[in-house]
Amino acid sequence: MLVEMKGITKEFGPVRALDNVDFKIDTGEIVGLVGENGAGKTTLMNILTGTYTATNGDVFIDGKKVQISNIRVANQYGIRFIRQELNLCNDLRVFENMFLADEIKNKYGLLNKKEMIKQSEMVFKRMNVRIDPESIMRDLQAAEKQLVEIAKALLFKCELIIMDEPTTALSTHEIEDLFKIMRLLVEEGVSFIYISHKMPELFDICEKYYVLRDGKLVSQGEFEDIDENDITEMMIGRYLLDEKFSQHTNSSREEVAISVKNLSGRGFHNISFDVQKGEVIAITGLQGSGRDEIADALFGEEAFSGQLIVGGKQIKPGSNIRKFMKRGIGLVPRMRKERGIHNDLSIYDNINMAYLNTKFKNILISNKKVHSRYINHKEALDIRAGSPRNPITSLSGGNQQKVILGKWLETDADILLFDNPTQGIDVGTKFEIYHLIADLAVEGKAIIVFSPEFPEIYKVADRCIVLYKGTINAVLGREELTEKNIMYYSTGANLEVENA
Amino acid sequence: MLNIKGEKYKDITAKFIFKKLITEYSFILSFVLLIVIAGIVNKNFFTWTNISNIFIQSSMIGLIAMGMSMVISAGEIDISVGSQVALIGGFGILVLNLTGSALLMILFCAVFGLFVGTINGLLITKGGMPSMIATMAMMGAARSIINHFGSGGPFTVSKELFGSFRLLAVGGVPLWGNVKIPYLMIIFVIVAIIFDIIMKQTKLGKHIYAVGSNETSARLSGVNVDLIKILVFAITGLMCGLAAVIYASRLTAVAAASAAVGYEMETIAAVAIGGTAMSGGRGKILGTFMGVLMFKMISNILTAADVSTFLNGAISGAIIVIAVLMQNYQNRKKI
């Protein structure tokens, strides 16, 4: 099956997410689709699978123009999209998941369990994996769940499988197994579009590449002809790659702002580190490495044991979030939409929320004071907004993030936690946020950035803590900060060598 | 309005006000429309007697709807309000007859209401129950307890107290001649103003909207989410207590099995036509205030048009559905 997308343009209101993109994949090919977050990869795939309709441009299958208006139509053409967050019902059995919405019925209209189990088994055999179709989805490993999704695709004679970051939750061995299965299927004529940030994997499994940047196709070709630096440059653009933001090598860094000793909790143990005033440290690790949990623990959202010393005094485990806030900690949470903003509320109310909980002492709120505080931070953070009475959703993602940051400037927080702060934010605003982080550090704030993205860490951090399975595997200084090092330590490769 | 530098806010223009009127304050348009219709259907509509009657009839639902506005803005729901009124009112009359003091009765009803509401709040927050289920349990339990103590029959205000106690419902502040402003109208308006200030100008109000809009974000801004939820249910309980006093005063009796049945529907309907989002996070007390009056006006119009009062439930149901469908339609347009 030859799938071609020609001149695809997609506009969301005034934002052009995709701009005249051409894409092509032939039978039995594995194509790597790369680009930074927000470059338009997922949008392009959503158009191919009918979740979005393109503003302009056409899709051709085997040379014939087709209209893919929804996911069912895409499935009928043999195209399946395996998303990063798997689409599985954890409480159902494996075979029930595989046949969800396409159940096999007997002549009385009741479910034909036997046939479904038999067909599931056949698919697993074809993939050469051992999964019991009758086991409950919840009991499966992350890697097995991934395989069930692939099996589901094969079950319905799927010829093109799109995989979005399939390996984030997998160990090195599991990734190798997955690649083996993919190669097996390629022999049979199945093709794959592989979306990933991980260079070694891309070079390992893919033949061709397509690079998107800011919604435009910037390059395409064969992986043979390029190396990792080439592709990173294409993704980010050279002019940006070289820019460093952590120039704040001032000497006033004697005072420890926050000190963590033997912090343990759900998903992390024995974490110890200090952050000095004016220092930016990054904490990174793969999904499930405890990165999210540590971020939450440092703000009292997640239970922990051990010592957390802020400004010389301990914050006891089990204290509520207001205690953390009053001691000068502020959190810019990950997943802005779900955890950061109040989308029904105005910009005023959003930026004011933390202030109300820490500093506000009166009975009635004065609109005048709210406004004057807002104006101060609007200028400092360069928030581009119309009326502050408008809902926060009227702003772009980056400006929403600045409002959330402003929330903590209102409380005069001097320890700022940034948990994946540039998720889903366009490149331009990303850099503004990096500048803000650097500026805040110069002002003497202690900053911890939790991030999975190397370019981001490289740009802002003075030091980087790399987590592996809930413990600190390495602390990298400025000169040791390379993507390779981070990948090496976050996958626990050093430990595997020692064990072998 | 001026900001610190003394410049005028640039954003308050005629266009801005018009846009707000259509999007956020559309209930004002429906309110005006309804008044015009009512004026046409009912020739006596614009008389003081009729208007004060509408306020008197709305006052009970009105008080409860204020609490319900908070509950719904916080993203929850309370369907036990009718049963709460019956429970609190029944016992309240017992207290009145026993002590002979209306003041003690009012105090009792207020405290009892706070207590019942707090139980609702605790079940939902500390017990982790969906509010629909917790308040449904309360709805059944409260009604059954008052039925048990009244053996199914009514609690009646004793003869000697009858005259003075009824004054609350029928009395008023004389304006001139025979015209007076009913106490219930004054109470309703004052309570509405207090709620409006709470929701707009206090920490509690901002926190209620924050919790209803996004609980996680609220918690991560330091909002005590559980406390806010307990408070909104307790305040609703308090309002049910006050409504129970008014009920007892207007009818001088609380029939255990049938008192205040269907109040949950009427209050939710009033909140819904007032433009409060059923998903929480958005809503205005002015909207609920007008919503309550609109609801009464609609049923008055229908009574004038000879529609059976048995259809009241169908009408509240239809109002909720239409109001929420319209909200959804508006939200979809925004995306």
User: Which range has the worst mean pLDDT, A146-150, B180-184, B265-269?
Assistant: A146-150
- Please, how many CA atoms are within 13 Å of residue A473, restricted to the half-sphere of its CB? 23
Chain B residue numbers with beta carbons less than 8 Å from the beta carbon of A356 are 203, 206-207
B282 to chain A, any CB pair closer than 8 A? The answer is yes
Q: What is the arithmetic mean of pLDDT over A332-357? A: 90
Q: Looking at chain A from residue 369 to 398, which residues have their Cβ under 8 Å from any Cβ of chain B?
A: 371-372, 375, 386-387, 389
DSSP H or E stretch at residue A265: strand A256-265
Looking at per-residue pLDDT, the higher value among A318 and B18 belongs to A318
Chain A residue numbers with beta carbons less than 8 Å from the beta carbon of B222 are 321-322, 325, 353-354, 357-358
Q: Is A202 exposed, middle or buried (0-12, 13-18, 19+ CB in 10 A)?
A: buried
10 Å Cβ neighbour count for A199? 20
Please tell me which residue of chain A has the smallest CA distance to B20: A390
Question: Which of A28-42, B49-63, B295-309 has maximum average pLDDT?
Answer: B49-63
Looking at per-residue pLDDT, the higher value among B81 and A454 belongs to B81
Chain A residue numbers with beta carbons less than 8 Å from the beta carbon of B24 are none
Please tell me which residue of chain B has the smallest CA distance to A411: B221
Joined together, the tokens standing for residue B306 give 């000879």
Residue-level pLDDT at B72: 97
CA distance A157 to chain B (A): 36
In a domain, A250, yes or no: no
| Nearest neighbour of A344 by CB, restricted to B202, B213, B223 | B213
Residue-level pLDDT at A25: 94
In a domain, A128, yes or no: yes
Angle formed at CA A343 by CA A338 and CA A346, multiple of 5 degrees: 145
Chain A residue numbers with beta carbons less than 8 Å from the beta carbon of B216 are 333, 338-339
Q: Is residue B20 pLDDT above 90, yes or no?
A: no
**Residue B9 carries which DSSP code?**
P
Task: Indicate yes or no: CB of A340 within 8 angstroms of CB of B207.
Answer: no
Looking at per-residue pLDDT, the higher value among A37 and A115 belongs to A115
A372-431 pLDDT, tens digit each: 889 888 888 888 877 888 888 888 788 899 999 999 998 889 999 999 988 777 666 788
Q: What is the arithmetic mean of pLDDT over B226-230? A: 97
Residue-level pLDDT at B169: 87
Q: What is the arithmetic mean of pLDDT over B238-265? A: 93
Residue-level pLDDT at A31: 95
Answer for the pair A67, A48: CB distance below 8 angstroms, yes or no.
no
- Residue ranges making up the domain that contains A309: 256-499
A216 to chain B, any CB pair closer than 8 A? The answer is no
Task: Indicate yes or no: CB of B209 within 8 angstroms of CB of A349.
Answer: yes
B308 to chain A, any CB pair closer than 8 A? The answer is no
Q: Is residue A182 domain-shared with residue A265, that is, in the same domain?
A: no
Residue-level pLDDT at B332: 65
Looking at per-residue pLDDT, the higher value among A230 and B260 belongs to B260
| Nearest neighbour of B221 by CB, restricted to A320, A344, A357 | A357
Cα separation values, A111 from A100, A135, B313, Å: 11, 18, 41
Task: Indicate yes or no: CB of B224 within 8 angstroms of CB of A358.
Answer: no
A261-317 pLDDT, tens digit each: 999 999 899 999 999 998 999 999 887 789 999 999 999 999 999 999 998 899 998
Looking at per-residue pLDDT, the higher value among B227 and A167 belongs to B227
Residue-level pLDDT at B14: 76
Task: Indicate yes or no: CB of A353 within 8 angstroms of CB of B223.
Answer: yes
CA distance B244 to chain A (A): 30
Residue-level pLDDT at B5: 42
Answer for the pair A213, A36: CB distance below 8 angstroms, yes or no.
yes
Claim: this prediction has a pTM higher than 0.90:
no
Joined together, the tokens standing for residue A423 give 């998720």
For A193, the 3-state DSSP assignment is strand
| Nearest neighbour of A331 by CB, restricted to B207, B220, B282 | B220
Euclidean distance between the first and the last CA atom of chain A, given in angstroms as a whole number: 43
Looking at per-residue pLDDT, the higher value among B312 and B249 belongs to B249
> If you count them, how many residues does chain A have?
500
A250-263 pLDDT, tens digit each: 545 678 899 999 99
Residue-level pLDDT at A406: 92
Residue among B287, B274, B283 at smallest CA distance from B232: B283
A105-144 pLDDT, tens digit each: 888 888 899 999 999 999 898 888 889 999 999 888 878 8
Q: Percentage of chain B with pLDDT > 90?
A: 61
Chain B residue numbers with beta carbons less than 8 Å from the beta carbon of A340 are 217, 220
Question: CA-CA distance, A68 to A75, in Å (whole number)?
Answer: 10
B125-138 pLDDT, tens digit each: 999 999 999 999 99
Q: Model confidence at A325, in pLDDT bands (50, 70, 90)?
A: very high
Answer for the pair A391, A304: CB distance below 8 angstroms, yes or no.
no
Residue-level pLDDT at B7: 41
Cα separation values, A205 from A135, A452, B46, Å: 30, 22, 80
- Domain end, chosen from A213, A241, A269, is at A241
Residue-level pLDDT at A496: 63
B144-172 pLDDT, tens digit each: 999 999 887 899 999 888 888 888 888 88
Chain A residue numbers with beta carbons less than 8 Å from the beta carbon of B333 are none
The count of structural domains within chain A is 2
Residue the block writes with tokens 């719904």: B72
A341 to chain B, any CB pair closer than 8 A? The answer is yes
Question: CA-CA distance, B160 to A11, in Å (whole number)?
Answer: 76
In a domain, A332, yes or no: yes
**Residue B326: beta bridge partners?**
none
Q: Is B73 exposed, middle or buried (0-12, 13-18, 19+ CB in 10 A)?
A: buried
Q: Model confidence at B3, in pLDDT bands (50, 70, 90)?
A: very low
Looking at per-residue pLDDT, the higher value among A248 and B275 belongs to B275
| Nearest neighbour of A301 by CB, restricted to B9, B210, B220 | B220
A424-466 pLDDT, tens digit each: 776 667 888 888 998 899 888 999 999 988 878 888 898 999 9
- Domain end, chosen from A189, A213, A241, is at A241
Task: Indicate yes or no: CB of B221 within 8 angstroms of CB of A353.
Answer: yes
Q: In A77-212, which residue ranges form alpha helices assigned H by DSSP?
A: 94-98, 113-127, 142-155, 172-187, 199-205
CA A335: distance to chain centroid?
Answer: 9
Question: CA-CA distance, A167 to A150, in Å (whole number)?
Answer: 13
User: Which range has the worst mean pLDDT, A229-238, A351-360, B79-88, B199-208?
Assistant: A229-238
Residue the block writes with tokens 């999904």: A287
Angle formed at CA A116 by CA A110 and CA A122, multiple of 5 degrees: 165
B305 to chain A, any CB pair closer than 8 A? The answer is no
Q: Model confidence at B263, in pLDDT bands (50, 70, 90)?
A: very high
B97-124 pLDDT, tens digit each: 999 999 999 999 999 999 999 999 999 9
A188-207 pLDDT, tens digit each: 899 999 998 777 788 889 99
Angle formed at CA A472 by CA A327 and CA A333, multiple of 5 degrees: 45
Cα separation values, A318 from A153, A290, A412, B87, B215, Å: 46, 19, 23, 39, 20
Task: Indicate yes or no: CB of B220 within 8 angstroms of CB of A320.
Answer: no
CA A256: distance to chain centroid?
Answer: 31
- Domain end, chosen from A214, A241, A268, is at A241
Question: CA-CA distance, A73 to A47, in Å (whole number)?
Answer: 12
In a domain, A386, yes or no: yes
Q: Is residue B189 pLDDT above 80, yes or no?
A: yes
Q: Model confidence at A37, in pLDDT bands (50, 70, 90)?
A: low
Q: Model confidence at A243, in pLDDT bands (50, 70, 90)?
A: low
CATH of the domain at A206: 3.40.50.300
Q: Is residue A44 domain-shared with residue A121, that is, in the same domain?
A: yes
Cα separation values, A209 from A50, A203, A219, A236, Å: 23, 9, 8, 15
Q: Percentage of chain B with pLDDT > 70?
A: 95
